[in-house]
Amino acid sequence: MEDEVQLQVKLHHAQAEIFNSPARFKVVAAGRRFGKSWLAAYLLLVEALADTNVDLWGNQHDLRLKEVYYVAPTFEQGKKIMWPMLKELGREVIAETHENTATCTLINGRRISIKGSDRPDSLRGVGLSFVVMDEYAFMKEEVWDKILRPALSDVGGKALFIGTPEGENHFFKLFITATEEGLPQWQTWSFKSIENPTLDKNEIEAARNQLSSQIFAQEYEASFAAESGAIFDAKWWLYDETEPRGGVFHIACDLAGFSNAGTLKKKELKIRDESAIAVVKAGTYGWYIKDIIHGQWDVRETALRIMKAYRDYRPVSLGIEKGMANQAVLPYLFDEQKRLDVYFTPVELSHGNQAKPERIRWALQGRAEKGRITLNRGEWTRRFVKQAADFPSPLAHDDLLDAVAYIDQLASTVYYTADQINQGGVEVIDDIIGW
């Protein structure tokens, strides 16, 4: 080219160590805000700007017809995390972009595409020279083994696995196998968040003081062993029958399917989940769980129970988990509001693309460990503590825990996902859980 364009690569020392490694397959377990996605964006661009590749056996391969993929757990996540960054860092070398498919063509004619592992068919049938697997812990193992690894074979293609640990799953097994067995062509790294020199050390310490030790070890110290043992320790629960003076009430409703009054058999009563209405007073001291009203009710009785809770505590917000149960109870709830001349607009509570165990853990574990949750003594208390002790067993109920966890959406103003935290530019709003 007459007018040669150079890509300016800006990395901190730990990122540069990974970037400069000659390893074919790189596995990086790193804490939040380390800069994993920033590193991945530069590697995507550099690899796509190459027209040839020499494999470990000295064979040279033409890459001009090969694709470069960035694969996230879902296409939507990938487009949100990587696409804006890729376009910004690669603006000098990108010839054109296609927004709908999140694909860009570089000045040498090669393409980089954003993909989601939840659509495996979209990954098949294309030859690849390089692939990034972002948050591999949240993908199915066979996406790599059966689809992407074979697609790299004919040109000696490369791969980067990046993510924050999520227990001892297939990402853990890949990391340990590559590390301890010294697999040829593989190299692993484990970096804590603090190894990003642009991240304020005071912010790390603030997170350490606010998050549970398990979550901090996993999210900031890249520890695979963070989830070993129980999620909730019985010693964490504080009890006080005296309601604190300050704070305001919030009510969160986790509704189960509705029963037909008087028709349930004893066996069904043991199996079905209960609806739960959590009444929590939130203040500078944390959360005081005043009451959790729970049971298996028909839709009309559920509406009456919600109205009674609202009348008794006059919360600043009342939320109901969205879904079919929400839609079923709202007409009855509005009828009761008219009858009693008491009006409020329920907040629609969302799972926020989190699985229930993850949502409960993030909302409650840190608060409980730091002594920020106090339980009033009542009929519900023993059941709540038992559910916490059994959590997250798929054989145990967690409806009371789930209702209390939803208070996080009512008592906090602003929320950010782990992916957003990883991208930077986020100010911590909630001083209890550190997000």
Q: Where are the domains of the chain?
A: 13-198, 230-415
Average confidence score pLDDT of the chain: 83
The stretch 10-21 carries a mean pLDDT of 90
pLDDT at 283: 95
84 touches 90 (CB < 8 A): no
- The CATH class for the domain spanning 230-415 reads alpha beta
**288, exposed or middle or buried, with CB in 10 Å at 0-12, 13-18, 19+?**
buried
Distance (Å, whole) CA 202 – CA 170:
33
Question: For residues 366 and 111, which has the higher predicted lDDT (pLDDT)?
Answer: 111
Q: Does 110 score more than 60 pLDDT?
A: yes
pLDDT tens figures, 301-359 = 999 999 999 999 999 999 999 888 889 999 999 999 999 999 999 999 988 767 788 88
Mean pLDDT of 193-214: 64
Tokens representing 28 are 């990086």
For the packed helices 324-340 and 299-313, what is the interaxial angle rounded to 10 degrees?
60
Please report, in angstroms and rounded to a whole number, the separation of the first and last CA atoms in the chain. Answer: 48
pLDDT digits (tens, 9 = 90+) for 268-307: 333 357 899 999 999 999 999 999 999 999 999 999 999 9
pLDDT computed for residue 264 by the predictor: 41
Average pLDDT over residues 185-199: 75
* Mean pLDDT, range 108-120, rounded to an integer: 94
Residue 373 has pLDDT above 70, yes or no: yes
The pLDDT value given to residue 232: 87
Query: Degrees (nearest 5) of the Cα angle 325, 326, 329?
Result: 85
* Residue 56 reports pLDDT greater than 70: yes
Please give the CATH superfamily to which domain 13-198 belongs: P-loop containing nucleotide triphosphate hydrolases (3.40.50.300)
Q: CA 228, CA 37: separation in Å to the nearest integer?
A: 27
Provide the pLDDT for residue 222.
53
Q: Is the pTM of this model over 0.85?
A: no
The two beta strands, 67-72 and 60-62, are: unpaired
- Specify whether the CB–CB gap between 298 and 261 falls below 8 A: yes
pLDDT tens digits, 25-43 = 999 988 777 888 899 999 9
Q: What is the model's pLDDT at position 403?
A: 96
Q: Which two three-digit tokens encode residue 339?
A: 């009858």
432 confidence band (pLDDT: 50, 70, 90): very low
Q: What is the mean pLDDT of residues 172-177?
A: 85
Band the pLDDT of 262: cuts 50, 70, 90.
Answer: very low
Structure tokens at 22: 């000659």
Comparison of pLDDT for 179 and 348, the residue scoring more = 348
pLDDT band at 169 (very low <50, low <70, confident <90, very high): confident
